[in-house]
Structure 1
């Protein structure tokens, strides 16, 4: 496969990309635009980017909003209650159908890597079993990591620890946790130590729903980061949400950031969901409900954006478009300078790949797997401003999705230069 007239991030030049046997074999700068032959793909000056990565979604709950009841308050905890009502209706056919529909949405929008959480506060573990089976079935087409997520607590839920171990034995890739939902602070702290211990025992990654609350006293992140540091596991550990950080005072955060940098852990923020769920107990002023993305990024700490939910008890919108989540995140976190825009695609590509621990085999470089997407824009800024569509998705040299650019008909009464 040969792609001509492609732009690469952080460059204004045009490039030719060559893929053979599923790997990039050559990336060469073109002097001028060339005419594509019949066996070449003409990128037409569009941006070739490493594939999008969805680092945080719940495929087992996707497309269940309103079944059997809607989340009327819009709170995280009512969402958990509504999901508790839906869980008895789960079966393999139901989960498989909805998960595949959601994966299709993601693939249509340039995603080639997915980390999904599966609720293991369910004695049948049907969600986890089904998603692990789908992961294996779709291997080679799309890469999926399955997190064993104890939605109702690892230590507070009856038999929760045993279910977690069973989930890991079944084949979950990642150990999850939810310390702020445990009954007591002591149980929350103990759960973090247990999560790290299990990850070491089973040689798995870690991804914790950590401090997903506005409560400034919810400080389990420091426990998770310290355990990751002491056990030299930082690169394998992810703290998702950490929305309480938006309520921490600056003096405490100054101390916390020192630990976070030393630990080397990763962060996932879910902008659309967090701004919807958090701040629900505020009148005014009302908190934004996100972690300190801008500050984490400036400190050199790895942070990325995910969708979290698509039409489920916690979030009744969502469409598989990570560019939408990125747009929200840049606005909410006040990352609206040109320097922010020029690197922004990192939040849904390179940073997410690092979070999933796949960065060693990710990216547009000779010797790496021949996987990329083509975006309707010339650089990060134009793609974000226009919310440019994903025009092409290539995985290991095979086209898995292709879309024709929209044809725009301009009224005759409009004159002047073309719109940028």
Structure 2
């Protein structure tokens, strides 16, 4: 933090005991309070139904009045929690303003690996969290590494996987699903006021293929245009991809 980190992380489920995990959460909140930082950590990224550090995160949020300043990544253990317990904790998380950030591509690759069949889907139950009022935003914490070698950093691809795994395939659900990679994330970053396409806001946007949200999610592929602060940064039209770099346009190949 003293070197300039933006927020405080934690990974309580990696501690030796649940008591140590709870203590690590308390330490994270102590540091966050001292330096007035938000909290964003890996929480309960496991298949263990008894991994319940998320409840400690919610408790500390209430205790410290840290409302709206805490995000818990993954929370995959919640897919194995007892439904009554899960509903209660998700409801409390919503009241405390604790966000959940599933990472669909990585979570379904890593979780459930030691299950026989049927296998757990390996992702926090997005639909249930949303129904309980939790702010849910999707993440992509690995791109090209041993934890996930196939990533390209495309959040539409992340959302595409999420709606399949959580069966969010109703028309209204698909229309609303883009919030999971747009406005809900903006809430976590506290940039709601400057975020979005309205007069007076920063002109940061992706122009996607298609007529509506469903087309954008169905077609996938790179955006037609990338616009940053009102300036055209990338152009993927005309059968080739170009970026504006150091004052000139350069042709690029869309692979890493």
If the length of structure 2 is used for normalisation, what is the TM-score? Answer: 0.90
Distance 1:317 1:391 in 2: 22
Aligned twin of 2:176? 343
Q: Offset of 1:269 from its aligned partner?
A: 0.6
Q: Offset of 1:243 from its aligned partner?
A: 0.1
Aligned twin of 1:369? 202
Distance 1:247 1:397 in 2: 45
Runs of 4 or more off by more than 2 Å in structure 1?
none
Q: Which moved more, 1:368-377 or 1:267-276?
A: 368-377
Aligned twin of 1:400? 233
Aligned equivalent of 2:130, options 291, 297, 303: 297
Aligned twin of 1:131? none
After superposition, residues 230-245 of structure 1 pair within 5 angstroms as 230-245=63-78
CA-to-aligned-CA distance 1:32-53 (integer Å, 9 cap, x gap): xxxxxxxxxxxxxxxxxxxxxx
Q: When you count strand as a share of all residues, which structure comes out higher? A: 1
Aligned equivalent of 1:201, options 34, 47, 66: 34
Q: Offset of 1:244 from its aligned partner?
A: 0.1
The answer to whether the 8 A contact 1:310-1:320 is kept is yes
After superposition, residues 156-195 of structure 1 pair within 5 angstroms as 168-195=1-28
Aligned residues: 240
After superposition, residues 121-160 of structure 1 pair within 5 angstroms as none
Distance 2:175 2:18 in 1: 41
Aligned equivalent of 1:380, options 209, 213, 224: 213
Structure with higher Rg: it is 1
Q: Offset of 1:197 from its aligned partner?
A: 1.4
Uncovered stretches (5+) of structure 1, i.e. residues with no partner: 1-167, 408-420
What is the CA RMSD across the aligned residues, in angstroms? 1.4
Distance 2:75 2:193 in 1: 26
Aligned twin of 2:146? 313
Aligned twin of 2:51? 218
Aligned twin of 1:229? 62
Distance 1:389 1:299 in 2: 33
Q: Offset of 1:405 from its aligned partner?
A: 5.2
Tell me the SS of whatever aligns to 1:209. Answer: strand
**Corresponding position: 1:255 with 2:66:** no
Q: Offset of 1:406 from its aligned partner?
A: 4.4
Aligned twin of 2:246? none
Q: Offset of 1:311 from its aligned partner?
A: 1.4
Distance 2:36 2:232 in 1: 33
Aligned twin of 1:328? 161
Distance 1:373 1:203 in 2: 33
Tell me the SS of whatever aligns to 2:51. Answer: coil
The answer to whether the 8 A contact 1:211-1:221 is kept is yes
Distance 2:31 2:198 in 1: 35
Aligned CA distance change for structure 1 residues 342 and 257 (closer, same or farther; 3 Å) = same
Q: Offset of 1:365 from its aligned partner?
A: 1.4
Aligned equivalent of 2:98, options 251, 265, 273: 265
Distance 1:238 1:402 in 2: 34
The answer to whether the 8 A contact 1:225-1:234 is kept is no
Structure with more contact order per residue of length (Cα contacts < 8 Å, sep ≥ 6): 1
The answer to whether the 8 A contact 1:275-1:289 is kept is yes
